[in-house]
Amino acid sequence: MREYLNQTFWGNTYLAYLIAAAGILVAWIIVRLVKKYAVKKLQQLVSSTDNQYDDMVIEGVEKFVIPYIYLFVNYNIITHLSLHPRLANILRVAITVITLYYAVRLVNHILGAMLKGFMERRQETPERIRQLRGVMIVLKAIVWFLGIVLLLDNLGYDVATIIAGMGIGGIAIALAAQTILGDLFSYFVIFFDKPFEIGDFVNADGKIGTVEYIGIKTTRIRSITGEQVIMSNTKLTNTALHNFKRMERRRIAFSIGVTYQTTAEKLKQIPGIIEKAIKAQSIAAFDRSHLSAFGDFSINFETVYFIETPDYLAFMNAQQEIYQAIFEAFEKEGIDFAYPTQTLFLERASQDTGAKTTE
């Protein structure tokens, strides 16, 4: 048996291959035990704390550090064998790529967790936190680019020449993709300046609806008629946008007209009737009510009041109650609303005297 194990195959004895396989198996068993017991125990300990960073560390260790350590141990076990130079070089390149892969993913994981924790400490809304996906796409792309440059440098390539070539190509790409880059920068403006957020009710260039999604290039608005309106971020940042969700109070102005047969005493009562109807609503703040004009067929009153909530349904309910109260009060006082009418005066000449008589 010893003689068989000492036989050589591809520059190594069978015993060396057996030891290497046993080392890989032992490493796999240790990794499984660590993940099953040690990591789970740590997860149970940190789950009871309010600190988000210990959760981030444990998750990073489980997803990236432990798998990389296992692969790195296997690499060292294999490289202790006598390998062909080409195979050894392939393994060296492979472990370099693997190192880059796990390092970049770990950095992206840390960046994402830190940004999320920062926004949670600022008590940002869940919708705002979901917007981090767009920011993270850009950050991940930058980290991957830096990682690939570092990988090429470790593999012996002239990074300076590559970057210079990419710079020239980048200018050409930027010129060809000005619209896309403009939308990308507008996305960052929307994210950091916060002119609107997901869930806001807005009027953007005549498109009225609720913001459903804010992406890197476009924003999607669910219109009040049901369809989804997709608008570029650049257009949204370049147009006047009305954000009704941030309305603190709503100003309402309306006019009513009464007939010219209304007595002067009744005319004096009308502003008080309107004021009483408005003040009866808890969310309404009366501003003014005046006789504003003598119209062609009516005496007009102009009224202004405020609704102390941005809720449109609450506004409509209050307005309905106000109008009904005014109508009931006018009916009780015998005040008639005016509507377009004309009075026709006819004249005829007297047959005997030639005088005109008006009918």
* Ramachandran angles phi, psi of 210, nearest 5°: -105, 135
pLDDT of residue 316: 92
pLDDT of residue 1: 58
69-105 pLDDT, tens per residue?
888 888 887 777 777 778 778 888 888 888 888 888 8
pLDDT of residue 265: 93
Containing H/E element for 278?
helix 264-279
In which residue ranges of the chain is pLDDT below 70?
1-15, 17, 43-55, 159, 162-178, 342-343, 345, 348-359
pLDDT of residue 10: 62
> Which strands sit side by side in the sheet containing 284-294, from one edge to the other?
250-258, 299-307, 284-294
Residue whose entry in the numeric block shows the structure tokens 């060809």? 176
pLDDT of residue 291: 95
Tell me the H-state helices in 80-154. Answer: 85-121, 126-130, 132-154
Total-model pTM: 0.55
Helix (H, G, I), strand (E, B) or coil at 22: helix
pLDDT of residue 357: 44
pLDDT of residue 356: 46
- CA dist., res. 116 & res. 331, Å (int): 61
pLDDT of residue 62: 77
